[in-house]
A and B are shown apart, each in its own frame.
Chain A
């Protein structure tokens, strides 16, 4: 990729401009995410860099953990501010988000893995059509899905219940599981199944002892995708959950709309850290899976 030694000055200029442009785009992609982190440690109740934060030498008065304390529901005197309400809502939301996310992930992973196993078999009839149906929740805009589900679930009394939200999230999350597990199964050597069976293993045993360990990285990545889908989802929750059934995204939505407070940034910082963690895990799993399947890194 380096410039050849015979490059003309114009080519050189062009090349450095190209690198500069790419650097700007990378900055554009990542800067907003990291800009919020320092602001979340501000003393000020507004979401801005205060002068004290930018001063040199750093002014310890300008930094504090008060909004983090607010977030975890600690409403002691040094935390409370006249413009920022303090409640346990964020913690209630966190518990609910994990509760919905984990249940939805378990169901979605089980259903999605089974389906991916079926879809990868050479004998699968109507593969294209079935794949299109299974992928569709990922494709249809969320607002349409939310409208349709709201009308339909209202008929069977599932709106304003956690059950309704979980069912909706499972439907939204399964395509991610199906796609990741199917991708893992592409390089899967079916002879290993035959070998296991010819040695006398029953189908269940074959699955748990031979197939599962090999595709486990794919299943875990799919599960993480499913979890983050449910964990981040706000449109369905807004329409299908009742007012006091809070989740983190719903609370953030309300926070942005009504009371712009730095507590949102504290939660956002936590979520950025969570996504860094998940991204690293998925990346490591992908490498492991490629190694297991004998695919050399490109």
Chain B
């Protein structure tokens, strides 16, 4: 019998090669799947990703002041600082006209920026502008602009003011990032520490880390036995006890924070019980809220479910026979726990630990309300600059640094746990 093997391509009934037809179907399926996701993807990109990107751009943006004093800055760049003590006449001349003709609101914004570089700019320019406007009104044309400026205010002959321009002449500046870690530019353009009284961010960053580490450790210590109990009890009991973990998880953050204020305040529940038991005297009531202690206690309780839930899901699937086997082989219970059980819970510990830590460093509401003066974290500064000082560049830079830390931690989380393994409840 003769066997013929067709070398021709396989065709579908329409006469199209099968390969091509399959590829087409595949492409269509991909497109369909993508079209389902597209509306949300588009929405998130526009309402969330773009704002975050915009914030990051703002943190290095210095273009506003460059649009107010374009000519002055152009001339300023020609100043040979080694040769002349003060900038050339052209710098004074362009500044004269830019102050005389500039838009008042824009100049005002630029002044705020200049004050970040060197305090004193704001009042100096305001005074000078008034005088310049008078001169222009009279129709006089100064012989020497430089002399006129120095006559208006002697600070115009002080080169340190001029040196501070150095950090503003570019559209992009890293000044806000340096400010966010208590650094600034010196007169020579070097990065130096801020004055003593303006240093507060490094301290806050450290406190943020310290509080987050403590909260993570406390959550682990409190959460581990509870997760173990929940994972080993028969389901009908553990489901019931799970309510204790899930109810706080579902309750409003503000309710829990309020509850802690009620519990911890000077004549609150805990102090009341302690006085009643005679442990502390009525005058010696403990100060547990509006300080770092309050922040630690409240944040631990609020973040504890985020530690228990991942630990629980890992512990559930560890076979109970492992511990028994280890003990059968002669290990003491403590040894069996240390060498056999604990290593198997590492994924849960790292997942829960990272989750709690990441949530803790970005926390704002609870520290702001129960933290008092010395329990505030970096989030409070971001809010303060956003709403009160309107130093949006610094606000964005603080946010940018925080975001960077978060992304690194989440990258780790993704390596260890996988971001799409997040489960709720």
Contact = CB atoms under 8 A, between A and B. Distances in A.
A13 B243 CA distance: 27
A10 B268 CA distance: 38
Interface string A124-147: 110010111111110111111111
A123 B258 contact: no
Given A47-B262, A133-B49, A268-B258, A118 B425 contact: no
B326 interface: no
B259 A35 contact: yes
Contacts of B248: 29-30, 33
A144 B382 contact: yes
B253 to A, nearest CB: 6
B383 interface: yes
A264 interface: yes
Interface in A246-292: 249, 252-253, 256-257, 260, 264-265, 268, 271-272, 275-276, 278-279, 282-283, 286
A298 interface: yes
Interface string A68-82: 000000000000000
Contacts of A115: 36-37, 39-41
B333 interface: yes
B13 interface: no
A115 B387 CA distance: 35
Interface stretch (B1-9, B26-34, B109-117, B197-205): B26-34
Contacts of A282: 425
22 contacts: A22-B226, A28-B301, A33-B251, A114-B36, A114-B37, A117-B36, A124-B33, A131-B419, A134-B41, A137-B44, A144-B402, A144-B403, A145-B52, A147-B396, A179-B422, A234-B253, A252-B254, A256-B254, A256-B257, A265-B258, A271-B251, A278-B250
A260 B150 CA distance: 56
Contact of B52 (A18, A28, A140, A264): A140
Interface string B166-201: 000000000000000000000000000000000000
B378 to A, nearest CB: 9
Contacts of B48: 136-137, 145, 148-149, 171
A152 B55 contact: yes
**Residue among A29, A115, A228 with most chain B CB within 10 A:** A29
Interface in A137-188: 137, 139-153, 155, 167-168, 170-171, 174, 176, 178-180, 182-183
Nearest to B409: A139
A49 B262 CA distance: 10
Nearest to B52: A148
A170 B404 CA distance: 24
B340 interface: no
A149 B258 contact: no
Nearest to A232: B252
B interface, by DSSP: helix, strand, loop or mixed?
helix
B37 A130 contact: yes
Contacts of B259: 32-33, 35-36, 268
B35 interface: yes
A111 interface: yes
Interface string B242-256: 011111101111111
8 interchain residue pairs of minimum CB distance: A141-B362, A118-B36, A152-B51, A32-B259, A118-B37, A148-B51, A148-B55, A115-B40
A interface, by DSSP: helix, strand, loop or mixed?
helix
Interface in B229-245: 229, 232-235, 241, 243-245
Interface string B291-319: 00000000001001100000000001000
A100 interface: no
Contacts of A242: none
Nearest to A155: B54
A38 B230 CA distance: 29
A128 B421 CA distance: 12
B103 interface: no
A1 B233 contact: yes
B54 A132 contact: no
B386 A147 contact: yes
A121 interface: yes
A148 B410 contact: no
Contacts of A151: 51, 54-55, 58, 392, 396
Contacts of B244: 26, 29-30
Nearest to A10: B333
A141 B37 CA distance: 24
Contacts of A141: 359, 361-364, 379, 402, 406
Contacts of A178: 40
Contacts of B257: 256
A131 B382 contact: no
Contacts of B246: 279, 283
Interface string B395-425: 1100100110010001000100001101111
B34 A118 contact: yes
Given A28-B301, A35-B259, A140 B406 contact: yes
A202 B423 CA distance: 33
A184 to B, nearest CB: 12
Contact of A32 (B26, B222, B301): B301
Interface string A234-245: 110001000000
Contacts of A111: 39-40, 43
Contact of A21 (B225, B234, B392, B424): B225
A271 B44 contact: no
Contacts of B149: none
B51 A33 contact: no
A279 B261 contact: no
Contacts of B389: none
Contacts of B71: none
B272 A49 contact: yes
A121 B252 contact: no
Contacts of A121: 29, 32-33, 36
Nearest to A135: B419
Contacts of B44: 133-134, 136-137, 171, 174
B132 interface: no
Given A179-B422, A265-B258, A271-B255, A228 B41 contact: no
A279 B243 contact: yes
Contacts of B37: 114-115, 118-119, 124, 130, 134
**Residue among B234, B259, B403 with most chain A CB within 10 A:** B259
Nearest to A37: B259
B261 to A, nearest CB: 7
A168 B263 contact: no
